[in-house]
Amino acid sequence: MQLFFLLLGLLFSVLQAQDVTVTDKMTALVGKEVIFPCTFSSKDPKVRVTQIMWMNSTVSLAVYSPHLGIHVNDPTRFQLVDPSPTSVTLKISRVYYTDEGEYSCEVTTFPDGNLKAFTKLTVKAIPQNSAEAKSGVVADDQEKVVATCKSANARPPSQITWHSVIPGNISNTITNNTDGTSTIVSDFIMTPTWTTDGMPVTCITNYDSTDYPIPLKLSVQYSPVVTIEGFDDNWHLHRSGVFLICNAKGNPPPTSYIWKTVDGSPLPSSVRAKDNVLYVDEVDARVNRSFLCEVTNALGSRASRQDVLVREKPNPSGAGTTGGIIGGIIAAIVGVAVAATVIMICRQQRRNEIAKDEEEFDGPPAYKPPPPSLKLHTEQPSGQEALLRNPPHQHEITYDEDMTPPKIRQSSDPRLHSALEDEYLEQENPIYNEFKPHENGSRQEDHGFVMSPAVYV
């Protein structure tokens, strides 16, 4: 048993000392070339390479021997590039889809035997994509192919889808080519009408998880579609400068415009026809009839009718239609302008009020502090000054240096309230202060007259 594990360890060490290296996966395009590298390395200097061979499944493609040289199965397609005992590269030119599969590089050594490495080849073919809108499609009530999209010679096969706002059906046809590629043709089918002319459709080809869109515009042929404009139901006698316009669409484009009357009579002499316009120099009774505009293109002719009613006098409702529309537009513009102006004024007033409030809050006091009370002095028998006005020691006003409102320190003396009232009365109505009666029988001295406290009217 120990001998078995010993031999297994020796074999494992030998395998680790030798290595054949190839690329695991390769991709090639049909008709192009592909190169398969193969290298051999060994840490044992006693190992000798006797042969290196490239195989496809079980078929030998090319062999290299250091003693016997090179042998290639099909020299027109296979070639060994710079072979040596440590490197043999196989090149395949003009790859076919049949070349897809698994390849092996086998190295024969002495005395250890053979070593192999495998690589897988995938063969692809990039398709040629094209799309076209069918020409010559005429509008009718039958379904037709209006556009075709093609993805040719693809490997793996492409997928085609359509994107369109127009409802339609899709028909796909796949063809397998002899070279292993595929071609898919997709038709967009619908009932063509004149309204679908020029409409966009998009063919989207998906190959190898990538979308390739091709935009198209449909081409649908149809006879002219005719309309007449210019009559405002206010053609009155002697009106001038009016006209009728014949509008027409067609594919192919219109080639001629013919103005005529419904009853087959000649056009009145007061009208002039020029291409798609019928000019009326002056409205008269002869214009009171029905007109036809006949338009022709390569597919045929179609006509449109306009009945003209001539009035004796202008029609206020008819004439005012355009004016009413214009007036409405002007009124809307004026209304918007007025609303914008009002909003701006309101916002400005609001900003002014906010600024004023901030100024009143942060600025100096809005009132002026009262001036100091006047002192009237008189000599009392005791030799002390008698104050006839508010004593300054009852309350004291101090001013803050930062221009804040004055801070008043009030005394708890009950006479303070009366003194403040007297001072306020003096500031508001100084003339009546002189007529105020003195309390406690006091009398004014040092004046040239004495006045009774009675009130005179």
Mean pLDDT of 224-244: 95
Q: Say whether the peptide bond before residue 215 is cis (omega within 30 degrees of 0).
A: no
User: Residues 177-191: pLDDT tens digits?
Assistant: 998 999 999 999 999
Mean pLDDT of 276-296: 95
Instruction: Return d(Cα 388, Cα 289) in angstroms, integer.
Output: 113
pLDDT of residue 364: 53
pLDDT of residue 453: 42
- Under 8 Å between Cβ of 189 and 171: yes
User: Would you place residue 390 in the very low, low, confident or very high pLDDT band (cuts 50, 70, 90)?
Assistant: very low
User: Would you place residue 342 in the very low, low, confident or very high pLDDT band (cuts 50, 70, 90)?
Assistant: confident
Q: Which domains does the chain have, with CATH numbers?
A: 14-124 (2.60.40.10), 128-218 (2.60.40.10), 224-316 (2.60.40.10), 372-436 (no CATH)
Name residue, tokens 């061979």: 53
Of the given ranges (122-126, 290-294, 384-388, 389-393), which has the lowest mean pLDDT? 384-388
Q: Which residue in 144, 150, 205 sits closest to 173, CA to CA? A: 150
Mean pLDDT of 17-44: 91
Instruction: Return d(Cα 147, Cα 35) in angstroms, integer.
Output: 42
Residue 399 has pLDDT above 90, yes or no: no
For 113-137, b/e burial (b = at least 16 CB within 10 A) is eebebebebebbbebebebebbeeb
Mean pLDDT of 303-322: 80
Max avg pLDDT among 84-93, 326-335, 396-405: 84-93
Residue 454 has pLDDT above 50, yes or no: no
Q: What is the pTM of this model?
A: 0.59
Return the structure tokens found at 306.
Answer: 């306009």
Residue 439 has pLDDT above 60, yes or no: no
Give Cα separations from 42 to 50, 61, 289 (angstroms): 14, 25, 108
Report the DSSP pairing between strands 48-56 and 59-65: antiparallel
Residue 435 has pLDDT above 50, yes or no: no
Residue 415 has pLDDT above 60, yes or no: no
* HSE-up of residue 424 (Cα within 13 Å, Cβ side): 6
pLDDT of residue 43: 86
Give Cα separations from 266 to 134, 235, 270, 275, 292 (angstroms): 43, 20, 11, 17, 12
User: Would you place residue 386 in the very low, low, confident or very high pLDDT band (cuts 50, 70, 90)?
Assistant: very low
Residue 437 has pLDDT above 70, yes or no: no
Pick the more confident residue, 110 or 1: 110
Instruction: Return d(Cα 136, Cα 220) in angstroms, integer.
Output: 7
pLDDT of residue 329: 78
Could you say which DSSP state residue 66 is in?
T
Residue 315 has pLDDT above 90, yes or no: no
Of the given ranges (157-171, 324-338, 378-392), which has the lowest mean pLDDT? 378-392
Contacting residues for 240 by C-beta, under 8 A, at least 6 apart: 280, 281, 282, 283
Residue 452 has pLDDT above 60, yes or no: no
Return the structure tokens found at 6.
Answer: 């010993």
Q: How does the average pLDDT of the chain come out, rounded?
A: 80
Mean pLDDT of 336-341: 84
Pick the more confident residue, 298 or 379: 298
Residue 16 dihedral angles phi and psi, to the nearest 5°: -70, -25
Mean pLDDT of 238-248: 95
pLDDT of residue 191: 96
Name residue, tokens 């030798």: 18
The full length of the chain comes to: 457
Residue 168 has pLDDT above 90, yes or no: yes
Instruction: Return d(Cα 334, Cα 399) in angstroms, integer.
Output: 57
Mean pLDDT of 212-216: 98
Q: Which residue in 54, 50, 39, 41 sits closest to 15, CA to CA? A: 41
- Under 8 Å between Cβ of 278 and 243: yes
Residue 391 has pLDDT above 60, yes or no: no
Hey, which residues does 330 pair with through a beta bridge? none
User: Would you place residue 17 in the very low, low, confident or very high pLDDT band (cuts 50, 70, 90)?
Assistant: low
Mean pLDDT of 272-299: 95
Residue 239 has pLDDT above 70, yes or no: yes
User: Would you place residue 44 in the very low, low, confident or very high pLDDT band (cuts 50, 70, 90)?
Assistant: confident
Max avg pLDDT among 251-255, 314-318, 354-358: 251-255
Residue 340 exposed, middle or buried by CB count within 10 Å (0-12, 13-18, 19+): exposed
Of the given ranges (73-87, 154-168, 404-418), which has the lowest mean pLDDT? 404-418
For 91-112, b/e burial (b = at least 16 CB within 10 A) is ebeebebebbeebbbbbbbeeb
Mean pLDDT of 85-100: 93
Mean pLDDT of 354-371: 56
* pLDDT above 90 as % of the chain: 58
Of the given ranges (30-34, 325-329, 445-449), which has the lowest mean pLDDT? 445-449
